[in-house]
């Protein structure tokens, strides 16, 4: 069985309880596969990135097979701004939609999730932008100063791989959820001197495990989420903290997704 998210954000947890770690978030309009059903909890797979976890049953709207196929086969527009105000026309309520939210049957600012009718400002959404370094950097800048949140995927709180994933989705590229997974794909770039805007820089700990990722703005600057989304200098050794002047992350590899 499948379901759809018609709330702004839904926490995806490692275990089936409210105290469990939030490993990711589900964005409005994302669809899920329900793999296990408990009284209060659903073990689901996010069909956008294959990330699996537990979601509160009340937060997922179930879809019949016909409803799912109808929604799946419609063009997916996305919220292209970091955040947008949305009006639920059916219920007469207003709420926020985070960037990357999926809108189906979108036309002139109106769209549906199969249950409700919605409206937003038409300029807040559109088809994914062309995949260029300039667009990746421009979209990432929308999240500048967003606070860091483990598992977060919105302008209210975001983690390093969440920033990368959401920004690339706005250019039509669906990347895996975690930095270590993202590091496994793309074209390897040998050094920062060959790097271009939009390339991804990955960072490792002393055990050579990938623990961080950021978006290169050019060969010497990076935008990344660490404490908050910030722009800092980078060299062949790693990221240079703007606060301390010391290295905060050790460069491991550079990948090009464009």
Q: How confident is the model at residue 73 (pLDDT cuts 50, 70, 90)?
A: confident
Q: Tell me: pLDDT of 184 over 80.
A: yes
pLDDT at residue 93, as a whole number:
96
**Extended beta strands in 38-128, E state:** 41-46, 52-56, 61-63, 76-79, 83-88, 93-98, 102-107, 110-112, 117-120, 125-126
Check residue 208 and give its pLDDT: 94
Q: Coil, helix or strand for 139?
A: helix
Q: To 10 degrees, the CA torsion angle through 148, 153, 159, 160?
A: -130
Question: What integer is the mean pLDDT of 76-95?
Answer: 96
What are the domain boundaries of the chain?
2-126, 133-256
- Rounded Cα gap, residues 112 and 227, in angstroms: 36
CA angle 30, 33, 38 (to 5 degrees): 115
Q: Which of 51, 86, 171, 224 is catalytic?
A: 224
- pLDDT score, position 70: 84
Residue 227, Cα to own-chain centre: how many angstroms?
17
C-alpha 20/C-alpha 1 separation (Å) is 24
212, 220, 237, 249: the catalytic one is 212
Residue with tokens 């250019």: 171
**Spatial separation of the C-alpha atoms in residues 162 and 175, rounded to whole Å:** 10
Residue in the structure block whose two tokens are 């990357």? 100
Q: Is 208 a catalytic residue?
A: no
Point out the catalytic residue in the list 160, 208, 237, 249: 160
Residue 256 has pLDDT above 90, yes or no: yes
Q: What is d(CA 111, CA 118) in angstroms, rounded to the nearest whole number? A: 5
Q: Which fold has domain 2-126?
A: SH3 type barrels. (2.30.30)
Question: Predicted confidence band at 92 (pLDDT cuts at 50, 70, 90)?
Answer: very high
Say which CATH topology domain 133-256 has. Answer: endopeptidase fold (from Nostoc punctiforme) (3.90.1720)
Give pLDDT, residue 139: 98
Residue 144 annotated among the catalytic residues of the structure: no
214 exposure class (CB count in 10 Å sphere: 0-12, 13-18, 19+): buried
pLDDT band (50, 70, 90) for residue 47: very high
Please say if 212 is a catalytic residue. Answer: yes
What pLDDT sits at residue 90? 96
């Amino acid at each position: 069985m499948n379901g759809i998210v018609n709330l702004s954000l839904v926490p995806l947890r490692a275990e089936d309880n409210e105290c469990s770690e939030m490993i990711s978030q589900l964005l409005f309009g994302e669809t899920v596969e329900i793999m296990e059903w408990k009284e209060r909890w659903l073990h689901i797979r996010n069909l956008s990135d294959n990330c699996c976890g537990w979601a509160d049953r009340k937060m997922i709207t179930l879809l019949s097979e016909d409803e799912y196929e109808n929604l799946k086969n419609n063009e997916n527009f996305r919220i292209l701004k970091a955040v947008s105000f949305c009006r639920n026309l059916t219920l007469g309520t207003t709420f926020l939609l985070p960037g990357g939210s999926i809108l189906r049957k979108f036309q002139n600012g109106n769209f549906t999730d199969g249950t409700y009718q919605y409206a937003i400002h038409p300029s807040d959404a559109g088809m994914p932008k062309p995949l260029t370094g300039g667009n990746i950097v421009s979209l990432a800048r929308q999240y500048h100063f967003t606070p860091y949140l483990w598992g977060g995927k919105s302008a209210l709180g975001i983690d390093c791989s969440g920033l990368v994933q959401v920004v690339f989705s706005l250019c039509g590229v669906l990347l895996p959820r975690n930095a270590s997974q993202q590091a496994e794909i793309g074209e390897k770039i040998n050094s920062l001197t060959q790097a271009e805007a939009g390339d991804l820089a990955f960072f490792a700990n002393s055990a050579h495990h990938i623990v961080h990722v950021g978006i290169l703005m050019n060969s010497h600057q990076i935008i990344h989420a660490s404490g908050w989304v910030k722009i800092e200098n980078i060299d062949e050794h790693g990221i240079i903290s703007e606060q301390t002047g010391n290295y905060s992350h050790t460069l491991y590899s550079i990948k090009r997704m464009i």
